[in-house]
Structure 1
Amino acid sequence: MKGQPTLARTLKLHQIVFMGLAWMTPMIFYTVYGVANEAADGMMAAAYVIAFLAIFFTAYSYSRMVKAYPISGSAYTYTKRAIHPRAGFLVGWALLLDYIFSPIIAILTFGIFMNTEFPKVPVFVWIIIMNIVLALVNIIGIKSVASVSGLSVLIQIGFILLFCILTAKDVLTGNTAAESLFSLTPFFGEDVSFSAVFSGAALICFCFLGFDAVTTMAEETIDAKRTIPKAIFLIVLIAASMYIAIAYLTQVAYPDFTFTNPDNAAYSLVQLVGGNLLSTIFIMVLIIATFTQGVSSVTSVSRFLYALGRESILPEKLFTSLHPKYQTPVANILFVAVISMSAVFINLDSAVMFVSFGALTAFTFVNLSVVSHYYIKGKRRSAKDTFLYLVFPLIGAGFIGWLLTLLDKNTLTIGAIWVAVGIVYLFIKKEWSRMNTTKIDMASVDQYSKNYVR
């Protein structure tokens, strides 16, 4: 309708990249360091290389699909348009777990870190404060989100560079047992357990989650067909470079580093490298990183809800309303804030479980969407196109689908229950729409009879 507010196209390439990295949170390397190190049997550099290769195929598929459909909705839109509307609905329903629980993870983690620094203030107080701030920042507008994200990412990259420089200095000055800064051992060590490396890679793949979230901002991006694909690859490449560099240097410098508690292993590693000063900076940067991850995740989920509302999957009147001044989906943002208050009661493991199931399900179907859209429907079947639109995405779908099967039984069971609830919701919604249509038709008949039948 003329005069109705729309999402403003203001985002440029560097802003999209910063927002994707902020959602991904480069500091996540440290938060999963202990668990990942154990899973990969110490071969984290090799595990990160494998994880990067696996994610690269899915990133490629996202870049192809955003070119075909440069609109909000991400995996839901791609699956619906390329495969089938019902498949799209189920993917979108599963993806809701990823998007809705991502802010919860950020808010809960923020509360935990702040409580560590200020133990007299309960975790729930920090959760409430952060929830309010995240809502306000997102309501003001997408530009404010981009600005906050950019600053946070620069701070995180700055810390990572400082950590790498200090680690390299220890090697070069002979403060470690390493004889040289250059070694192939982190990638091809003796007695390498390839099963352990792949297990580590399966876990480490979650460190790359975030590149996909920027596709939800396609309608707020200048020249989205060109900008979003570039941003996707830049985000993955930048993240992989940082992760592999940290893993490589720590393995070279401290090959015998051990820890007792995997949850705080990174804190011990940072203390080993830079003492108490660096560990204090480490905690503060982690707090900043978690905050901006929350900002970016609220932005993504509010735009995803906007897309589902526009498709009438969710109530259209509520989820497609935009603020006339800020041009942001205020109702969606407030809805997310209400849901995110569950961070007071939910535990971190449960939230991560929901995100894992939703993300891997979406990734699998985005790869399959490329095959359906380009190879099957578009008939792009030359030798080059067969490689790009069949082989590449099938490799991505196969690898990600395999990772999905590696989730624990409880995760798969709850995920299946969630999908079943979505099927029931779809059936009820369809029946409700049919009943309303019948009522409208009958009302028209009754009115016609009153006016014209004598």
Structure 2
Amino acid sequence: MSETSAGLAPKLSLTSVVAFGLSYMAPSLVMVLFGVIAAESAGTAPTAFLVATGAMCLTALSYAKMARHFPVSGSAYGYARNVLGGRAGFLVGWLVLLDYLFLPMVAWLVQSVYLNAQFPAIPVWAWMLLNAGLTTLVNIIGVSVADRVNKLLTALAVFLVLLFVAYCLIHLAGHEPQSYTAPLWNADSGLVGVSAAAAVAAYSYLGFDAVTTLSEETRDAHRTIPRAVVLVVAIGGLLFAAVAYIMQLVHPGGRFENPDIISYTMSMQVGGQTFADWANMATIIGGFASGLAVQLSSSRLLYSMGRDDVLPRRFFGALHPRTQTPVLSLLLTGAMCLTGLDIGLQTATSFINFGAFSAFTMVNVCVVVFYLRNRDISGGSLLGYVVVPALGSCVTVYLITQLSSDALTIGLTWLAAGCAYLLWLTRGFQRPIPELVLEDTAAPAR
């Protein structure tokens, strides 16, 4: 390994970065979550997704602003470090680690559960090891190879989702819906139910921020990354809402025998057993692409923190001299798949959400603080730099309050451990957090 001064190489285009963001969010996730969201919203799942899209766009705009001013790979960690100072940046990075360290494991676990359901002769643990191993290998080879593999898998996943939609439309041609407006609003729906469902749907958008971890590997990053962040949320949100609308026409209302498997049941209804098995592949393929993107982003955050010496630099801050990838960080995130064998999926996703929404909140705060310190920002306005991020903070804080008590306990315990590590790192706040100034990001863009 080498602590090369060359650093990460800018090879990715706007299309590549958007593809990584969409695969991170997993296009087929709407099929998985539809039953739960439709039940919560009394049969108005597309409206819940639209509300969630608008809510997440507030924070996406904050990420876009920070990515324009600070095109570095640390995402929320890098923004907080530059705007709020080293100590605050470290704690934000520590919270993000809760998300980025365990999210690859969750992606592999979901994929492995679906693979085991279709191929029960192979146990979940074997699928976990295979998925994690293949993903890690692709990411170690290099970002260009990961880019090509990700584009292919994301295209296949989107194709299978659209194929499912096509079968639904053919089914609807022979079974005229009673109402085309009921999926958007009906006699049973209400603001409380739709808001609660939107809070659940918001979890589908985790990952739009991950494209900011690729800033140093993206060409013309200060322009490309902000556009990519907004595009990922907009494209993903509109896809989720459109698919949910079609599914809601096929199955009106919010009552299901088992909402967790409604996508499989609906696939059987519109296409039969063989098609249902193929539709299941959308989740499997999307899961592999998501795991690839999630691990790539996680390793870049670890690399950024290692390069800054807030994590052991010789391990986390090292790049392979030939592939220019943080191999040791990739191996560590790959090994995290072993934790998925003992942690339940619901528990894992709940405390991951604590880290993600905490980071979202702090990025919104960073935008406001940055504006108050730099009121001469080109194109800056009170609406865009104060009002919108303030609303975004309100949304993300609300989402944190909706997490389970177990998630809050684990999240706060993780934060307390980070405070203890920060105390040790600074020798009781007697030493400053190590600083790293990159030539192209030493001064924020105006």
Q: When the two structures are superposed, what TM-score results if normalisation uses the length of structure 2?
A: 0.92
Superposed, 1:90-239 pairs within 5 Å as 90-171=91-172, 173-178=173-178, 183-239=180-236
In the alignment, is residue 420 of structure 1 matched against residue 421 of structure 2? no
The residue aligned with 2:263 is 266
Q: Which amino acid aligns with 1:209?
A: L
d(CA) in 1 for partners of 2:185 and 2:154? Answer: 32
Q: Is the 8 A contact 1:5 1:322 kept in 2?
A: no
Q: Which amino acid aligns with 2:104?
A: P
Q: Is the 8 A contact 1:131 1:337 kept in 2?
A: yes
In the alignment, is residue 299 of structure 1 matched against residue 296 of structure 2? yes
d(CA) in 1 for partners of 2:254 and 2:33? Answer: 16
- Unmatched runs of 5 consecutive residues or more in structure 2: 432-446
Question: How far is 1:5 from its partner?
Answer: 4.1
Partner SS, residue 32 of structure 1: helix
The residue aligned with 1:407 is 403
Q: Is the 8 A contact 2:42 2:253 kept in 1?
A: no
Q: Which amino acid aligns with 2:25?
A: M
- Unmatched runs of 5 consecutive residues or more in structure 1: 436-454
Distance 1:381 1:306, change over 3 A: closer
Superposed, 1:5-20 pairs within 5 Å as 5-20=6-21
Q: Is the 8 A contact 1:15 1:146 kept in 2?
A: yes
Q: Is the 8 A contact 1:176 1:253 kept in 2?
A: no
Moved more, 207-216 or 183-192: 183-192
d(CA) in 1 for partners of 2:146 and 2:119? Answer: 27
d(CA) in 2 for partners of 1:323 and 1:135? Answer: 14
From 316, 319, 323, the equivalent of 2:320 is 323
Q: Which amino acid aligns with 1:93?
A: W
d(CA) in 2 for partners of 1:312 and 1:412? Answer: 29
Superposed, 1:346-361 pairs within 5 Å as 346-361=343-358
Q: Which amino acid aligns with 1:336?
A: T
Q: Is the 8 A contact 2:78 2:89 kept in 1?
A: yes
The residue aligned with 2:439 is none
The residue aligned with 2:342 is 345
Q: Which amino acid aligns with 1:399?
A: V
Question: How far is 1:34 from its partner?
Answer: 2.0
Q: Which amino acid aligns with 1:401?
A: V
Question: How far is 1:398 from its partner?
Answer: 0.8
Partner SS, residue 188 of structure 1: coil
Question: How far is 1:250 from its partner?
Answer: 2.1
| Cα shift readout 1:248-305 (whole Å, capped 9, x = no counterpart) | 1222333157422222122112222222122111112211111111111110110000
Q: Which amino acid aligns with 2:29?
A: I
d(CA) in 2 for partners of 1:136 and 1:128? Answer: 12
| Cα shift readout 1:24-67 (whole Å, capped 9, x = no counterpart) | 10111112222222222221011011101100101100000001
Q: Give the length in aligned residue pairs.
A: 430
The residue aligned with 2:434 is none
d(CA) in 2 for partners of 1:16 and 1:42? Answer: 34
Q: Is the 8 A contact 1:5 1:324 kept in 2?
A: no
Q: Which amino acid aligns with 2:174?
A: G
4+ residue runs over 4 A deviation: 380-384, 432-435
The residue aligned with 1:451 is none
Q: Which amino acid aligns with 1:43?
A: T
Q: Is the 8 A contact 1:380 1:389 kept in 2?
A: no
Distance 1:122 1:170, change over 3 A: closer
d(CA) in 2 for partners of 1:110 and 1:159? Answer: 16
Q: Which amino acid aligns with 2:360?
A: F
d(CA) in 2 for partners of 1:110 and 1:162? Answer: 20
The residue aligned with 1:249 is 246
Q: Is the 8 A contact 1:5 1:323 kept in 2?
A: no
Partner SS, residue 18 of structure 1: helix
From 284, 289, 294, the equivalent of 2:286 is 289
RMSD of aligned residue pairs (Cα, Å): 2.0
Question: How far is 1:344 from its partner?
Answer: 2.1
| Cα shift readout 1:142-164 (whole Å, capped 9, x = no counterpart) | 01111111111111221222222
Question: How far is 1:103 from its partner?
Answer: 0.6
Distance 1:429 1:356, change over 3 A: same
Question: How far is 1:95 from its partner?
Answer: 0.7
The residue aligned with 1:82 is 83
d(CA) in 2 for partners of 1:85 and 1:326? Answer: 30
d(CA) in 2 for partners of 1:392 and 1:77? Answer: 21
Partner SS, residue 427 of structure 2: helix
| Cα shift readout 1:282-332 (whole Å, capped 9, x = no counterpart) | 112211111111111110110000111112110112111111110100111
Q: Which amino acid aligns with 2:228?
A: A
Q: Which amino acid aligns with 1:367?
A: N
- Of structures 1 and 2, the larger Rg is shown by 1
d(CA) in 1 for partners of 2:177 and 2:230? Answer: 37
Q: Which amino acid aligns with 1:98?
A: D
Q: Is the 8 A contact 2:103 2:352 kept in 1?
A: yes
| Cα shift readout 1:114-136 (whole Å, capped 9, x = no counterpart) | 21122121111111111211111
Q: Is the 8 A contact 1:177 1:254 kept in 2?
A: no
Q: Is the 8 A contact 2:3 2:319 kept in 1?
A: no
In the alignment, is residue 336 of structure 1 matched against residue 337 of structure 2? no
The residue aligned with 2:442 is none
Superposed, 1:2-41 pairs within 5 Å as 4-41=5-42
d(CA) in 2 for partners of 1:361 and 1:315? Answer: 24
Q: When the two structures are superposed, what TM-score results if normalisation uses the length of structure 1?
A: 0.90
Q: Is the 8 A contact 1:361 1:401 kept in 2?
A: yes
Q: Which amino acid aligns with 1:59?
A: A
